[in-house]
Amino acid sequence: MNQENLGLTADQVSKLQAISMKFQKLKEVEKNRIHLIHMEGMQLLMQKDVNVSVLKKDIDRVLQHKKNIMTARIEMLSDAHKVLTDQQFAKVKKLLQQMMMGGNDHPISPPPVKH
């Protein structure tokens, strides 16, 4: 989805970039926090007497950070939709539906599935 395809104005592009940047910054911070929790957990696991209750709390902390990312992604998309005109949103919606149906002939491929 590019500026020409959707007919975005310079103002819309600027707003969408700001929305995306805000999300990317938050995502990076949250991922760093998750990484630190994992590192702390690894140190705890190297002890002879592992404190399982602390590690369980770490799991809850990790899940909260992941939830923050997911919530921010939803907010980013909602904010981006508000920047688009009805016609632009219809094009985006059509492209997203094609992605979800597995249409590989589209320039936007679906995100990889992590197992």
Q: What is the pLDDT of residues 67-105, one digit of tens each?
A: 999 999 999 999 999 999 999 999 998 888 888 887 555
For 5-64, how does the pLDDT look when each residue is reduced to its tens digit (9 = 90+)? 899 999 999 999 999 999 999 999 999 999 999 999 999 999 999 999 999 999 999 999
The pLDDT assigned to 106 comes to: 45
The pLDDT assigned to 69 comes to: 98
Say if residue 4's pLDDT is above 50.
yes
What is the rounded CA–CA span in Å between residue 74 and residue 80? 10
Sorted by sequence, the CB contacts under 8 Å of residue 61 that are 6+ apart come out as 33, 37
Say if residue 65's pLDDT is above 70.
yes
